[in-house]
A and B are shown apart, each in its own frame.
Chain A
């Protein structure tokens, strides 16, 4: 081994700052059966993508549910949405602004 190689080192990148302060609301149509929430939350948790609020209720006959997620804007958001869209049990993903009223009247339950 030549001496020139003794100063080499691995380069391990720093964790970039991701979180912004603007809130975003995601609306997900999903199949309604046990385990669907695990699939979705796992994607966010793995990436340390903070989910501020979750609401989920069945829709219509109960074959599908709608999940509302309140999250902070993040430069990875569009990539995150593409990952969520790939899940077999996710039927659609819609993005709304943070002013969407769905989380608006819940404050009184979190006093």
Chain B
């Protein structure tokens, strides 16, 4: 018979699930959990400067490790500050466990100090959530949270634990088993055979890969499928790296900021094989005009994604890796010389224009200069905005989990704490966070955390003193009426980094920016690399929001 407090039990259950790092911020209602953590030899607690930073650090760890990672906050504002990071994890299907303190059970519903309905607030942004009402319930809730977070389509799970439950003694015979993911849903082999026939019969097929390919660890199988059946392959923002960007069959990213030829190839497709993607509006543009002549095969582990946006001719609800392993032996090798040469000619006529690629003081040039200093082991994160789209277009991603970014929710402030999390999960890798001045300010306080942890994170800051993508859209779609998208007063980011104890280098005055960049990237430890970017550099091509992908401008 074992006996311990709820808080000690939580820490033991986390340890048993293999958790070795937790990001969090303490507070009154979480103090028993922090007291329990002080006794853990396995768990390293990373003290963040804002709970949103803790949420994104957990995400960064989970996006690199592929398994659930944990963030911890107190009640009230601690919990509400986590919400953006949790919602972000929901939209990108990232397995995180958010643990929050809550006021004691007897005070719930009394507007007690730092009381907020965390359970109610997080219903629509979690895969599942728990308000634990007794220490005994932790024996089922904590393992269930891990199982739910990592099974089927992954996602965030929140466990809200009142302070008296943390302090309550609980007796039990044995620890619950360490949980593993549930078996993926079984699927119909007849549908696989039908899909194989459609691929064989198609004349102009395109393979469309989404983040599910990464989550499922199926990138190599997707590439094999493409090679076997000679399928030109496009990737969503979430799937970049699943097929190396320099692979001859790669069409790069599709959608709002995809290359012209990519969207034109999709326009001509007679078969679209969608694997682990969900027909997001930023990827497909106007739904009715996306792949207008194509039959659709859709593979997704989440049944509710099938037929949600586009009706599929063959819909397979299953794990991408399992489905591909059944599909591969049934797909006949084909050369498709005619289609591939047509794709090649479209690529030649409508390539992605990358002006300034040889100039490290321009957006594309800076991205290429960074890439030239790194190998495929590096992890690249980005914030949200113009810099994100430039990196998505231009960075030579070559492997799964090399690229971490906020795809669904589009959260400015994601990139830097996610990079810290990535560096904590993979301390041997260099982690580069491409950011903008608007985004970086949204979680800039985590510079203190990066300095404290001495993580190998380099921020490459594209500073255009603007909310660049807003500025761009106001220029293009709102009669050039620039409203609230220019920062009138400049910010001295170098001084800020210095103030937080983080090294900073400025490429602007550097006589040889490539050399300065290489030195900064190759020196271990956190560093801010600052570069001024012209605010009138726009991301092209661009599909106007709501328009068809064929209506690109620029």
Contact = CB atoms under 8 A, between A and B. Distances in A.
Interface residues of B, number: 25
Interface stretch (B119-127, B387-395, B431-439, B503-511): B119-127
Interface string B109-122: 00000000001100
A42 B128 CA distance: 13
Contact of A79 (B123, B127, B308, B547): B308
Contact of A88 (B119, B148, B286, B553): B148
A81 B120 CA distance: 22
Contacts of A38: 120, 123
Nearest to B124: A42
A77 B545 CA distance: 27
A86 B286 contact: no
Find the residue from A5, A6, A38, A85 having the highest chain B CB count within 10 A.
Answer: A5
B308 A35 contact: no
A6 B479 contact: yes
Interface string B327-347: 000000000000000000000
Contacts of B477: 8-10
Contacts of A89: 128
Given A1-B480, A5-B476, A42-B124, A11 B553 contact: no
A89 B128 CA distance: 9
Find the residue from B123, B479, B553 having the highest chain A CB count within 10 A.
Answer: B123
A83 interface: yes
Contacts, number: 54
Given A5-B553, A46-B124, A10 B131 contact: no
B540 to A, nearest CB: 11
A48 interface: no
A46 B253 CA distance: 31
B227 interface: no
A85 B546 CA distance: 30
Given A1-B480, A38-B120, A8 B128 contact: no
A34 B302 CA distance: 26
A38 B128 CA distance: 12
Contacts of A34: 131
Given A1-B480, A5-B553, A8-B477, A88 B128 contact: yes
Nearest to A12: B546
Given A1-B475, A1-B480, A88-B128, A10 B123 contact: no
Contacts of B128: 87-89
Interface in A1-56: 1, 5-6, 8-13, 34-35, 38-39, 42, 46
A33 B148 CA distance: 18
A86 to B, nearest CB: 6
Interface in B368-386: none
Contacts of B480: 1, 6
B184 to A, nearest CB: 15
A82 interface: yes
B553 A82 contact: no
Interface string B476-488: 1101100000000
B44 interface: no
B304 interface: yes
B247 interface: no
A8 B124 CA distance: 35
Contacts of B304: 79, 82-83, 85-86
Given A8-B476, A10-B545, 13 more contacts: A6-B480, A8-B477, A10-B546, A11-B286, A11-B544, A11-B545, A38-B120, A38-B123, A83-B304, A85-B304, A86-B303, A87-B128, A88-B128
Interface of A: 1, 5-6, 8-13, 34-35, 38-39, 42, 46, 78-79, 82-83, 85-89
5 contacts: A10-B473, A10-B544, A35-B120, A46-B124, A88-B148
